Copies of this chain bind each other. A is one copy, B any other.
């Protein structure tokens, strides 16, 4: 049973159908088709404000492109030391932003706060010998499956703005947080002070498209140029745009996320004292006792060891299409561990 990653899940029926429906000849290639042209309007309606939206092929590209629009090459991107952009994107943010530096902050559960941001930047003098902090990147959910509430996010963004930073959100699992908190998506983005969102779709039942959402159209001026130059402007753009449109039509994205979240809640409840972090999205982090990981794997559960070698930490990710029996089996197995 697969709990390694939501990346290994299937594509949901709505997205598959949209891809099939988009298979029509068009007059214009690239972004000139009817699907691509609808992106801005559809996401603007979803978020309740005017948005500029582009499809890209990976979350890494979404993050790196968005950040490159906020950060000069001599600037710095501030993020948590466990952030995906720091740890797992092979230097893509540095590449796209022309060699900008990532400055790291700390925080329990990979969560930043105004205080941790202030601490992380406290050593900077603001002179020309040091890189200039230009953007804050926040992961929602965090790399430990934690959610920022609108209030928490608002305070963090306010601190960032007071320091002259623009705010980017890595929303690879944004849907899971919206579903978990039951907020309006605007409350977790532009109303709280977020400028650019990587709107994750692939982990949540999508196929090959993620969205970059700009809430401040002026910041987006460079995006089309940078996207083309990055090889991220597809010649048959309709196949990417259609996936994104399908995902936000009829609350598909929220339905998928709720399904995954529910499984994670069940598993978290069964984990007992092993649970490392509150379950606020579709990931469950456990601290297993010696031997337990082996027993679970022997029982057919796939999952990643996490944290330092030998720490016993483990990550279980529930996918949108996770069979209920997988969740029940894992919960039972955890309960049986005692």
Contacts and interface: CB of A to CB of B under 8 A. Distances in A.
B232 A202 contact: no
Contact of A73 (B24, B91, B224): B91
A183 interface: no
A35 interface: no
A4 interface: yes
Interface residues of A, number: 81
A95 B57 contact: no
A171 to B, nearest CB: 15
B229 A90 contact: yes
B20 A8 contact: no
A330 interface: no
Contacts of A314: none
A23 B12 CA distance: 9
A321 interface: yes
B16 A95 contact: no
A29 B10 contact: no
Contact of A208 (B130, B230, B234): B234
A58 interface: yes
17 contacts: A4-B28, A7-B29, A7-B235, A16-B23, A57-B231, A58-B235, A73-B91, A74-B90, A74-B222, A87-B123, A88-B129, A91-B101, A92-B230, A92-B231, A95-B229, A202-B234, A208-B239
